């Protein structure tokens, strides 16, 4: 059907690859694809590590952790449509919770936040992540041995990185290009550059508890003897986590990542209910674009071609998941 | 108890409380808003402040004028048969796939699994077309049928895994005693799978209740719309009445929330065993 022209009522007409050529020339398609990429990166990159961390926290067998878990899970039971309503209230530009929260911190427009985020990512998070990565590379070769000197080295390295980033920041006078709207207030959902991030943020609120459930189940399979043995061997907290627990959680991580990827590609409800892809299609994702083209603009053939593209993108991840199922189910 | 351990426990409670509070803020804001009057909302500078006067007018209005009553009823009409139908059919197919080893049984299982992973965009237009040709567009039966069809893959996969864990000797001894296949299914497989069926049923109920997309595609008249559609409708009509929309959102969320709180154990169990969709 993606090769035909059909409005949903009259008979369809075969037009070959026309739909696809028109699609690739359309700017909205590329915006949607780009937004889908953001969804993919952030929807996996944020909930998976945070879900793991919170799962580790709530896995501590202390009285009351059941109550914490129950309360934390609540957001998971909500429909995306409800989440969209609740969050559009929080994202209200003038008197919504998020705007007033930032105002109370002395930040009075979105551009400052964008700026701060970019500075944080480029000059602090990135060097720290790099540092950890390099440290991890070296750490692998060392035996379990806790020494206070290593901590000192780490602290100094961290301080140097932070200091260097801040000096770079001061010297370059780094600033992000923000829209004119963002310099005046908090257009969380009406600034074309920011709206997708607001949507992803609301969706993550629901996704983190979900990933956490998966990790909690995975943690149940980590034998406590193994962790204790590593303590006896003198492993510190970090070594215990990276060398003992994380490898045991590999199956849970694979499931969490594949599910998050598939969910991020299916993102539709929240985008459609909150912004319908607007303003000016800037928050559109493929699913949403496809729906609007097919059912609001009655271009079913064209919509099908979007669906085909999306299917091709998802196929790889579905294969990974199926492979996993085949392996475990045997 | 040494100092380090005390510190860990202390840190646990502080961090956990903080996380939970941050996580619940959106709920609290929605609850506050839903009991405020429009005057209070307009007058206050901060919309997240606790209400000065609690009133349930908004719930009443959303329920009656906002038509939430109808939507609420419709959602039950759609959800309950869908869950029951999907459970009934999937216990049968799962039993077949778990117990009998026939040609292509593995292929069929894979078809079921890939069916639940496929991006729904692929299916939107075919479903819409099919429902038109079958004359079930804009009817309860149509939505129910498609819900059952789409949930069947997941349910079968889920139940098959559970039924596989029942020892085969149980089935076989019954067969030797002369029980027919359908009796084995009804008297042995079903009773032993009840915990899994319960977990699955609860999960399915929440998913179908929360569904937006299929109702959006398959329903068009207002009298039979489900609650998620109704909520979006309401937002279109009362664009600036935040309190009304907050009340309606809470009404929509109430059923899954209550179900979750009562059957939390099953819900989480289902999610971890299923571990497929959200």
Q: Please name the residue of chain B whose CA is at the shortest distance from the CA of residue A60.
A: B12
Nearest to B119 among A8, A206, A265 (CB): A265
Alpha helices (H) in A173-194, listed in sequence order: none
Do the domain assignments include residue B197? yes
| Chain A residues lying within 8 Å of B45, measured CB to CB | 95, 100
Percent of chain A with pLDDT over 90: 0
Contact of B255 with B73, CB cutoff 8 Å: no
Q: Please name the residue of chain A whose CA is at the shortest distance from the CA of residue B244.
A: A85
* Average pLDDT estimate for A146-172: 70
Do the domain assignments include residue B169? yes
For residue B135, pLDDT beyond 60: yes
* d(CA A322, nearest CA chain B) in Å: 7
Question: In chain A, what are the domains?
Answer: 1-79+194-330 (1.10.3720.10), 92-187 (no CATH)
- CA distances (Å), origin A112, targets A91, A164, A177, B46: 16, 22, 11, 21
Do the domain assignments include residue B184? yes
For residue A12, pLDDT beyond 80: no
Tell me whether residues A79 and B256 touch, CB distance under 8 A: yes
Q: Give phi and psi for B45, each to the nearest 5.
A: -85, -30
CATH of the domain at B214: 1.10.3720.10
| Chain A residues lying within 8 Å of B46, measured CB to CB | 95, 100
Nearest to B9 among A62, A300, A321 (CB): A62
pTM over 0.90: no
Do the domain assignments include residue B233? no
Question: What's the gap between Cα A324 and its chain centre?
Answer: 23
Nearest to B119 among A78, A294, A310 (CB): A310
Question: A34 in helix, strand or coil?
Answer: helix
Question: A8 in helix, strand or coil?
Answer: coil
Tell me whether residues B125 and A294 touch, CB distance under 8 A: yes
Burial (0-12, 13-18, 19+ Cβ within 10 Å), A82: buried
> pLDDT tens for residues A72-131?
888 888 888 888 888 888 887 777 778 888 877 777 777 777 777 777 777 777 777 777
Question: What's the gap between Cα B80 and its chain centre?
Answer: 11
Tell me whether residues A80 and B117 touch, CB distance under 8 A: no
CB pairs under 8 A between A and B: 196
Nearest to A262 among B117, B121, B259 (CB): B117
Residues facing residue A14 across a β-bridge:
A4
Q: Give the long-range contacts of residues B254-259, CB within 8 A, separation 24 or more.
A: B255/B75, B255/B209, B256/A77, B256/A78, B256/A79, B256/B205, B256/B206, B256/B209, B256/B210, B257/A74, B257/A77, B257/A78, B259/A77, B259/B202, B259/B205, B259/B206
DSSP label of B50? P
Residue position matching structure tokens 């008297």:
B187
pLDDT of residue B82: 93
* d(CA A168, nearest CA chain B) in Å: 33
* Average pLDDT estimate for A228-248: 76
Q: Which of A69, A74, A308 to mutate to test the interface with B (most CBs of B within 10 A)?
A: A74
Output b/e per residue, B118-151; b: 16+ Cβ within 10 A.
bbbbbbbbebbebbeeeebbbbbebbbbbbbbbb
> pLDDT tens for residues B18-73?
888 888 888 888 888 888 877 777 776 666 677 777 778 788 888 887 788 888 88
Q: Please name the residue of chain A whose CA is at the shortest distance from the CA of residue B44.
A: A95
For residue A330, pLDDT beyond 50: no
Q: How far apart are CA B74 and CA B53, in angstroms?
A: 33
- Of the given ranges (A46-55, B193-202, B237-246), which has the lowest mean pLDDT? B237-246
Listed in order, strand segments (DSSP E) in chain A are 4-5, 13-14
pLDDT of residue A216: 87
Task: Name the most confidently modeled range: A19-28, A163-172, B269-278.
Answer: A19-28
Tell me whether residues A307 and B124 touch, CB distance under 8 A: yes
Tell me whether residues B47 and A286 touch, CB distance under 8 A: no
Do the domain assignments include residue B235? no
Q: How far apart are CA B63 and CA A4, in angstroms?
A: 45
> pLDDT tens for residues B145-162?
988 988 888 888 888 888
Alpha helices (H) in chain B, listed in sequence order: 3-34, 38-43, 57-64, 68-99, 105-117, 121-133, 140-164, 168-176, 181-183, 190-210, 213-218, 227-237, 242-262, 264-274
Give me the number of domains chain B comprises: 1
Tell me whether residues A71 and B26 touch, CB distance under 8 A: no
| Chain A residues lying within 8 Å of B26, measured CB to CB | 75, 86-87, 90, 205
- Of the given ranges (A203-217, A232-246, A292-306), which has the lowest mean pLDDT? A232-246
Tell me whether residues A273 and B212 touch, CB distance under 8 A: yes
Contact of B196 with B273, CB cutoff 8 Å: yes
Q: How far apart are CA A246 and CA A173, in angstroms?
A: 40
Do the domain assignments include residue B269? yes
Place B277 in a pLDDT band, splitting at 50, 70 and 90: very low
Contact of A91 with A98, CB cutoff 8 Å: yes
* d(CA A86, nearest CA chain B) in Å: 6
Torsion of CA B82, B84, B87, B91, to 10 degrees: -140
* d(CA A5, nearest CA chain B) in Å: 13
> pLDDT tens for residues A50-88?
888 888 888 887 787 888 888 888 888 888 888 888 888
* d(CA A201, nearest CA chain B) in Å: 12
* Of B246, B232, B230, nearest in space to B55 by CA: B246
* d(CA A159, nearest CA chain B) in Å: 25
Do the domain assignments include residue B106? yes
For residue B1, pLDDT beyond 70: no
Residues 6+ apart with CB under 8 A from A312: none
Q: Please name the residue of chain A whose CA is at the shortest distance from the CA of residue B110.
A: A322
Q: Half-sphere exposure of A32 toward its Cβ, with a 13 Å CA cutoff?
A: 31
Question: A5 in helix, strand or coil?
Answer: strand
Give the residue numbers spanning the domain of B218.
Answer: 77-223+254-274
- Of the given ranges (A235-244, B7-16, B127-136), which has the lowest mean pLDDT? A235-244
Residue position matching structure tokens 């500078």:
B45
For residue B275, pLDDT beyond 60: no
Tell me whether residues B212 and A269 touch, CB distance under 8 A: yes
Tell me whether residues A74 and B27 touch, CB distance under 8 A: yes
Q: Please name the residue of chain A whose CA is at the shortest distance from the CA of residue B107.
A: A326
The DSSP string of B110-175 is HHHHHHHHS-THHHHHHHHHHHHHTT-TTSHHHHHHHHHHHHHHHHHHHHHHHHHTS-HHHHHHHH
Q: Give phi and psi for B137, each to the nearest 5.
A: -65, 135
Q: How far apart are CA B223 and CA B70, in angstroms?
A: 7
Do the domain assignments include residue B40? no
Q: Which of B46, B275, B276, B277 to mutate to test the interface with A (most CBs of A within 10 A)?
A: B275
Burial (0-12, 13-18, 19+ Cβ within 10 Å), A48: buried
* d(CA B22, nearest CA chain A) in Å: 9
pLDDT of residue B89: 92
Q: Please name the residue of chain A whose CA is at the shortest distance from the CA of residue B236.
A: A273
Q: Please name the residue of chain A whose CA is at the shortest distance from the CA of residue B270.
A: A213
For residue A316, pLDDT beyond 50: yes
Residue position matching structure tokens 């001061």:
A170
Residue B79 neighbours by CB distance under 10 Å: 24
């Amino acid at each position: 059907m993606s090769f035909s022209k059909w409005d949903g009522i009259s008979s369809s007409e075969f037009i070959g690859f026309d739909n696809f050529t028109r699609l690739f020339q359309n700017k909205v398609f590329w915006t949607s694809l780009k937004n889908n990429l953001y969804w993919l990166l952030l929807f996996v990159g944020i909930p998976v590590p945070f879900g793991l961390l919170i799962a580790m926290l709530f896995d501590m067998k202390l009285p009351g952790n059941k109550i914490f878990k129950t309360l934390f899970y609540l957001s998971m039971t909500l429909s995306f449509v409800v989440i969209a309503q609740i969050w559009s209230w929080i994202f209200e530009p003038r008197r919504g919770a998020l705007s007033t929260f930032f105002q109370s911190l002395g930040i009075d427009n979105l551009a400052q936040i964008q700026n701060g985020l970019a500075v944080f990512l480029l000059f602090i998070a990135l060097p720290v992540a790099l540092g950890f990565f390099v440290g991890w590379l070296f750490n692998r070769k060392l035996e379990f041995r806790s020494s206070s000197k290593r901590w000192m080295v780490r602290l100094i390295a961290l301080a140097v990185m932070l200091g260097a980033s801040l000096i770079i920041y001061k010297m370059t006078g780094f600033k992000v290009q923000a829209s004119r709207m963002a310099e005046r207030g908090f257009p969380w959902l009406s600034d074309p550059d920011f709206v997708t991030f607001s949507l992803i943020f609301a969706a993550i609120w629901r996704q983190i508890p979900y990933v956490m459930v998966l990790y909690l189940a995975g943690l149940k399979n980590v034998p406590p003897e193994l962790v204790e043995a590593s303590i006896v061997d003198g492993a510190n907290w970090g070594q215990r986590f990276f060398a003992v627990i994380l490898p045991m959680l590999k199956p849970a991580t694979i499931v969490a990542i594949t599910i998050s990827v598939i969910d991020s590609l299916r993102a539709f409800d929240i985008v459609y209910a909150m912004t319908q892809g607007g303003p000016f299609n800037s928050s559109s994702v493929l699913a949403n674009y496809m729906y609007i083209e097919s059912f609001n603009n009655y271009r079913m053939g064209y919509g099908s071609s979007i669906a085909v593209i999306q299917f091709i993108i998802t196929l790889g991840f579905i294969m990974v998941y199926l492979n996993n199922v085949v392996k475990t189910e045997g | 108890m040494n100092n380090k351990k005390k510190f860990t426990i202390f840190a646990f409670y502080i961090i956990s409380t903080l996380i939970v509070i941050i996580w619940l803020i959106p709920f609290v804001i929605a609850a506050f808003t839903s009991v405020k009057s429009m005057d209070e909302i307009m007058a206050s500078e901060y919309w997240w402040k606790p209400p000065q006067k609690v009133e349930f007018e908004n719930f009443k209005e959303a329920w009656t004028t906002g038509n939430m009553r109808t939507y609420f009823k419709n959602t039950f009409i759609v959800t309950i048969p869908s869950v029951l139908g999907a459970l009934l059919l999937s216990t049968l197919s799962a039993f077949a796939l778990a117990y009998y080893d026939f040609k292509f049984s593995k292929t069929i299982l894979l078809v079921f699994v890939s069916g639940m992973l496929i991006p729904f965009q692929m299916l939107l237009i075919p479903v819409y077309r099919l429902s038109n040709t079958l004359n079930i567009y804009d009817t309860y039966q149509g939505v129910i049928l498609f819900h059952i069809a789409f949930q069947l893959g997941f349910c079968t996969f889920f139940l098959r895994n559970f039924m596989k864990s029942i020892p085969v000797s149980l089935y076989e001894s019954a067969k030797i005693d002369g029980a027919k296949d359908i009796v084995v299914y009804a008297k042995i497989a079903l009773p032993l799978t009840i915990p899994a069926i319960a977990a699955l049923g609860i999960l399915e109920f929440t998913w179908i209740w929360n569904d937006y997309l299929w109702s959006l595609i398959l329903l068009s008249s207002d009298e039979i719309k489900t609650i998620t559609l109704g909520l979006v409708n309401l937002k279109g009509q009362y664009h600036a009445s935040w309190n009304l929309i907050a009340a309606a959102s809470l009404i929509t969320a109430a059923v899954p929330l209550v179900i979750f709180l009562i059957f939390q154990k099953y819900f989480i169990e289902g999610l971890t065993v299923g571990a497929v969709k959200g």
